[in-house]
Chain A
């Protein structure tokens, strides 16, 4: 594992937010190395900066100081459009709130990302069938999100996140809206898909149980990554 090249590298990442006169230092000189194929849990209390760090790694946000590279691309200095194209190609997102497009059916929700990546329609259909099969929703391809349960919606979101074979999967409290049984099944599914397909995953969670599924656990506390534990 350690011999694998780095999928994510962060050095001295700082991020501050202003609320009126007050300044909140959310990330204060974060250094992070995640190897290709590795799964890492990022733990911390609410407001500790987990999502902010995920946003920075995913190119959604930019740090005030420090450098970040992911999938071999240095995000430092990338303009907004450059970061968008980076996200499109190299990152997969799974959210707590699923965030499926309500006007598209299951298959089209997945197709959307493939289309953005200019995958031709034949290949896209193959990939959609494969992914929906893998997440157990092959028979719900024509259903719309509001007809699915929370667990089913999250499975669509996972299929959408992985369909374009991203180098890095970023998951932000992916089981936060699910009951325990569904959450366990979901974690098992993510674990299986990520490992068999060789994706790198960074998962933000406050749950020890969720974190236990990962190779490493990092604690984010007072803007710093403090301790890491093996699986």
Chain B
């Protein structure tokens, strides 16, 4: 049976259902955002890892080569000359069917048994898996024969026996769905097309080349591994399959860490809200607490009562939050997956996977945050003398007295944040911790600043709007114990939007300028995926009106340390100016880059690897690992921090790959870009599908993708603002309840409903204004930290910070708007207060 003291306490919450509901909603949304981001991140990562694991199958190692892969005779020699049996060749690439992008896996069905099961488990609708000989024969003999997972076939609207067209390497190919295989655990084989290796080579333009050779070596069989390594030619190497998968998935780690940090911000705002709710519920029950203390409830019992109540509130809210988070997670997952696809690697996600760990995290966050937020008001309540517990003015005096200490603590936290930034090197988590310390520190300074601001505003308010306006302003200062937290919550939420808006705006500006400078050609043409047909390259280069041509190739090289992207260029010297050299004399850089085996490293690469002009780096080449001198660092906003710029001449000297991805066309002055775009499109129509665009078009498309990657950021910040909105609403409603007698007195004295409501509205408007103004400095500092610390550490970018005044103005106006919106109902309630209440004795 619940003790009477607890019942007396709980019944308060039940008798104030709106306050209870808002508290639950505030904590719930905070928890929901955390759970949603966690689920979305985990699901995307899990989908990628599962898909990779299933496709890797039983392979423990993989033999890889240079940018084009491994020559196929390497596989033959390993199998025939060296007797390595548990190996299977693979050709991988991407194709599209009716706009849907799929991975294609070219295999040798006979070699598969040792490595993958699913490729051999495909079966036709009629024959079933038992008719293996027919299936094997058809797989080899039917032109364009493919198999795919049941779900993929269903989504493509294909049934076994269907003949369809696909686009591979820019060319339209005919394929036939021979059979379907099971979807794999968690739909791991979604959007995967399996075909014979020869077909894949033909479709992807990889004749004579393999993407890799999958190898299965028993655990601890070092002898076989050594023998395999010894048998490989120069330029080929054997790497751990799991390590390769891990290093690929790690590419998105910084992005996911940033999302998690943003979700924690929502909880931080939620934390203020819980603090607010518990604080209010304690303050409003001071009479009850006074009575209970007078009747003999000990401080310890009182503390336990408040904390247990907070924990229960947190638990219920967390359960609601987890449920909401799972729903929200599904929506976020699409955004996360799209960004990963845009920026890092292909991931096909068919649904969210909710694991117990994510749920547990949400529950712990909810209950933990509630307890943390309740601790201070609970300790405060236990410190009251029974008589004092009934005096509101005593509480406010205590709060006012505590303000200097609170402010000094805040300043201390901000100093700690600066120290952490200075001494934490390149650590991203330390950088994010510093951001949180900064926010918390600043938040603690806000109440004192707001109090002084409100006191300072009072004479002006009285001059402008009379005693009513003075009351509105004075109410903020005198009720700082009640209004302060709501102001802090709104200020933090708005400062986050200011910080992120300035960061995105600065970033956008820097990227825009960078694109303007980097995109030197008038027209760009390239293969959608894979390499351009050499004959088409020649034909385009010969078009009338084309004065000069640059070529580009993006190649990945890999060793045990991970993958490195090579950006291989051949370009007219006049366009060198498009690459901004950061740490060397361009006049000396370019000749070395052209012919002396020197490379340029991108700024992110330079930051993350600690190399620059005058250093050297080792890259895997066709002739084995080789040292290259670094001629300079160049500015780059590419997402891949592993960018190295290499001249085509150097590349051809060290890699067995003469393919080209795209062309930049420099036109004679009198020739229009659109005209050449049309000519290239017409030329490539029957040859190879290309993307062709003018410089302006490419710039526009790049900015579109840039904006798309920040959609998820915006979603998270809107949710954070939603939590802050609830905070203000909750605070104003509670304040209105607190001041019911005051409102009633004013009504009895002759204030109309509109006047009382207007006073509350003015108060919330001023709260919004003060929150917005308080948010500006924090927002600017947060933007600086995001730009100079977080982005630098996460991605290595150096962004020029620019503060657009409209961002600040809009944010302050927005804070006022949010507060005014949240104040509508409390103002309405205050206006409706019954003057008769004032007549009653307390």
Contact = CB atoms under 8 A, between A and B. Distances in A.
A169 to B, nearest CB: 13
A184 interface: no
Contact of A113 (B470, B479, B749, B839): B749
Interface in A100-142: 101-104, 108, 111-113, 115-117
Given A55-B839, A102-B478, A111 B467 contact: yes
Contacts of B745: 95, 99, 101
Given A101-B746, A116-B750, A55 B467 contact: no
Interface string B275-308: 0000000000000000000000000000000000
B206 interface: no
A84 interface: yes
B513 interface: no
A84 B750 CA distance: 5
A38 interface: no
Interface stretch (A18-26, A27-35, A85-93, A215-223): A85-93
Contacts of B479: 103
Interface string A58-86: 10110000000000000000001100110
Nearest to A204: B839
The residue in B393, B470, B479 that gathers the most chain A C-beta atoms within 10 A of its C-beta is B470
Contacts of A91: 750
A24 B838 CA distance: 22
Interface string B472-493: 0011011100000000000000
Given A60-B835, A112-B467, A97 B752 contact: no
A51 interface: yes
Interface in B733-757: 741-742, 745-753, 755
Interface residues of B, number: 32
Contacts of B393: 102, 146
Given A102-B478, A103-B475, A108 B749 contact: no
Nearest to A146: B393
Contacts of B747: 84
Contact of B749 (A88, A97, A103, A173): A88
Contacts of A96: 841
A176 interface: yes
Nearest to A84: B752
Given A80-B753, A102-B393, A60 B467 contact: no
B753 A172 contact: no
Contacts of B741: 97, 99
Which of B475, B742, B749, B835 has most chain A Cβ within 10 Å?
A: B749
A13 to B, nearest CB: 16
A17 to B, nearest CB: 11
B840 A103 contact: no
A54 interface: yes
A51 B475 contact: no
Contact of A108 (B392, B470, B840): B470
Nearest to A161: B749
A93 B749 contact: yes
Contacts of B477: 103
Nearest to A105: B474
A115 B467 contact: yes
Interface string A168-195: 0000110011000000000000000000
A108 B751 CA distance: 15
A85 B841 CA distance: 25
Nearest to B466: A115
B751 A116 contact: yes
A61 B836 contact: yes
B836 to A, nearest CB: 5
A112 B462 CA distance: 11
A88 B835 contact: no
Nearest to B747: A84
B468 interface: yes
Nearest to B756: A84
B787 to A, nearest CB: 42
Contacts of A117: 750
B474 A104 contact: yes
B842 interface: yes
B750 A89 contact: yes
Contacts of B840: 51, 97
B468 A85 contact: no
A146 to B, nearest CB: 4
B471 interface: yes
A8 to B, nearest CB: 17
Contact of B748 (A81, A87, A146, A173): A87
B750 A85 contact: yes
A131 to B, nearest CB: 15
- Which of B392, B393, B466, B467 has its CB near the most chain A CB atoms (within 10 A)? B467
A205 to B, nearest CB: 13
Given A84-B752, A99-B748, A108-B470, 8 more contacts: A55-B839, A61-B836, A87-B748, A88-B749, A101-B746, A103-B478, A112-B468, A115-B466
13 contacts: A60-B748, A87-B748, A87-B835, A88-B751, A89-B750, A93-B839, A99-B838, A101-B746, A102-B392, A102-B393, A102-B478, A103-B477, A177-B841
Interface of A: 51, 54-55, 58, 60-61, 80-81, 84-85, 87-89, 91, 93, 95-97, 99, 101-104, 108, 111-113, 115-117, 146, 160, 172-173, 176-177
Across the A-B interface, the 7 shortest Cβ-Cβ residue pairs: A88-B750, A146-B393, A103-B474, A99-B745, A60-B835, A103-B478, A112-B467
